[in-house]
Amino acid sequence: MGSIVGKKAPSFKAGAVTNGGTIVSDFSLDQYKGKQAVVFFFYPKDFTFVCPTELHAFQERLQDFHDRNVAVVACSTDTEESHWGWLQMAKEQGGIKGITYPIVADTTKAISDAYGVLAGEYEYDENGHLTANGPMIAYRGLFLIDKSGTVQHAIINNFPLGRNVEEALRMVDALQFFEENGEVCPANWSKGKDGMKADHAGVASYLASH
């Protein structure tokens, strides 16, 4: 499938665990539209090794995202019960106790598929049995969705490669700088640096629609 950058983020309703232990059945990113940007990230599996380092890293910088009026939401193909159980385990034991941002349960794998991060393919054999080619879990995808619900940034890592939370914050800063100043951000731009003026129809179109 093609990239969803520049397009509306796929909508969904699914089970999730919020506030470190509350299971909800109809979580949706639509609740943030018009109010907050969202960093929506996928991770492969609960009770693994690299994944908790990422989840804790986002929690450690969660206030920095909130200060920028950005929500952080995680997602994997595990069940909400699995998420809940992992949230009861201490960090020292490999758990994610202390994580407070929502963790979505993509048990049907439809969300991962819609965002283009589902590893593996499936088909029905001649007997009508479902067969999968690959693990059918999510790669380490991350999507920055603006207040209007449009995907402005996406990055997808393979399973062994953990992400950099500082880079996610840098992209938030870049998007907000553009939104506030109408200037684009050159290579290696970081907050506090100058942007560049650009006379481009895409820039004008973006500003007109927000």
Annotation: CATH topology of 14-163: Glutaredoxin (3.40.30)
Closest CA to 69 of 156, 146, 141, 140: 146
User: In the prediction, which pLDDT does 191 show?
Assistant: 87
**Domain map (residue ranges) of the chain:** 14-163
What are 201's two structure tokens?
């129809």
Point out the residues that are catalytic: 51
Could you list the pLDDT tens digit for every one of the 210 residues in the chain?
Answer: 679 999 999 999 999 999 999 999 999 999 999 999 999 999 999 999 999 999 999 999 999 999 999 999 999 999 999 999 999 999 999 999 999 999 999 999 999 999 999 998 878 778 887 688 889 999 999 999 999 999 999 999 999 999 999 999 999 999 999 999 988 988 998 888 888 887 655 554 554 555
Cβ atoms of 65 and 105 closer than 8 Å: no
- Cα angle, residue 94 at apex, residues 49 and 115 outer, rounded to 5°: 50
| Measured distance CA(135)–CA(153) in Å, rounded | 26
- Cα angle, residue 26 at apex, residues 132 and 142 outer, rounded to 5°: 60
pTM confidence score = 0.90
